[in-house]
Structure 1
């Protein structure tokens, strides 16, 4: 697979089955990425309930992952894309997003939410800003503080 910026990932191995992944290693990847503390048992649940998954290895080291929840027709939601810091900036994150979009092709809509400041990256992958997106978070104060949610008017 070659990314938009010309970086080739032919030396990487792509896996799409959760049962081929060490969940402790996956949890470690999310901490390194850094995407927070996601315990192995939580990752087993969220990936187990996701229709599509990508796990990328450089040799025997997990260096990228991502998933998409999808209903098969109407909506797919891309989530939890993580890239090891030593592999960031090389197009791997873009390749994971592109693969998840390819796997979810045929859905009426494919959505994700972007961390503040990453909107241009996702625009470059074909995503457009949603004017009507709303959300309920388990910790809304923190989500407002880090810019994921807008406070009430």
Structure 2
């Protein structure tokens, strides 16, 4: 199956994107929320096969100092095929020239990103809207 890549979101079906994020699994994010966050992201890529959307990812960037790669999602049937690696590579390449490229991973996927050159950020801190849930899912800890 050939994969088609684009950085344009004009033809994105946001309901299809909502399904992608739910099954990837990256959580329940509404079509409206996804439209907002992708629209406000400097870099974004979408991958399609003949059936539809199979992957998406984005990076928030200030254009010089920091680019933050987030929301990399791949349909389960396409995971392990190199599409996720290609998505991250495209986002890293788009972010070249920034002093730092930061990536937020779901728990358990850190090894995948290590293979792509990312290292653990020892000083990262966060405040989540639902702190208890973030602790339960392994996103936050006391350290």
TM-score band, normalised by the shorter chain?
Answer: over 0.9
* TM-score normalised over the length of structure 2: 0.95
* TM-score normalised over the length of structure 1: 0.89
Match of 1:88 in 2: 79
Aligned mate of 1:42, from 11, 19, 33: 33
Structure 2: gaps of 5 or more residues: none
Q: CA deviation at 1:55?
A: 0.4
| RMSD over aligned Cα atoms | 1.3
Q: CA deviation at 1:141?
A: 0.7
Structure 1: gaps of 5 or more residues: 1-8
Q: CA deviation at 1:102?
A: 0.4
For residues 119 and 100 of structure 1, what CA distance do their matches in structure 2 show? Answer: 17
**SS where residue 10 of structure 2 aligns?**
helix
Aligned mate of 2:5, from 10, 14, 31: 14
Match of 2:128 in 1: 137
Q: How many residues align?
A: 143
The answer as to 2:106 corresponding to 1:108 is no
Moved over 6 A (4+): none
For residues 136 and 25 of structure 2, what CA distance do their matches in structure 1 show? Answer: 18
**SS where residue 19 of structure 1 aligns?**
coil
The answer as to 2:125 corresponding to 1:146 is no
Q: CA deviation at 1:60?
A: 4.2
Q: CA deviation at 1:78?
A: 0.5
